[in-house]
């Protein structure tokens, strides 16, 4: 499942540099996560790095983009192949 930044985001800027897939970017009002790039850090880390560093706990799973671990792994592999 891709992750989602809620409107509780305080724009502290700590999540964006932690994302290994460059899925996080500033939005109009708060940071946003591109669900096509978010793998919940599968392939990179054991846990989502944005969630680990978020001081306000505003990054839940995105119910509109539900994926299982195998799908996240395949997305990771596709992103890595595109970056070569």
> Which of the four pLDDT bands, split at 50, 70 and 90, describes residue 43?
very high
pLDDT at 84: 80
pLDDT at 1: 85
DSSP-derived 3-state class of residue 82: helix
The tens digit of pLDDT for each residue in 46-79 reads 999 999 999 999 999 999 999 999 999 999 999 9
13 has which bridge partners?
none
pLDDT at 83: 84
Domain at 16-82: CATH code: 3.30.70.20
The tens digit of pLDDT for each residue in 4-37 reads 999 999 999 999 999 999 999 999 999 999 999 9
DSSP-derived 3-state class of residue 7: coil
CA gap 72, 13 in Å, rounded: 25
Domain ranges for the chain, please list them: 16-82
Task: Tally Cβ neighbours within 10 Å of residue 75.
Answer: 21
pLDDT at 53: 98
């Amino acid at each position: 499942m891709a992750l989602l930044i809620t409107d509780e985001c305080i724009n502290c800027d700590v999540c964006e540099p932690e994302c290994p897939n460059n899925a996080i970017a500033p939005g109009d009002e708060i940071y946003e996560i591109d669900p096509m790039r978010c793998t919940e850090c599968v392939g990179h880390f054991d846990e989502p790095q944005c969630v680990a560093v978020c001081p306000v706990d505003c990054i839940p799973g995105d119910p509109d983009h539900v994926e299982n671990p195998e799908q996240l792994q395949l997305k990771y592999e596709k992103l890595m192949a595109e970056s070569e």
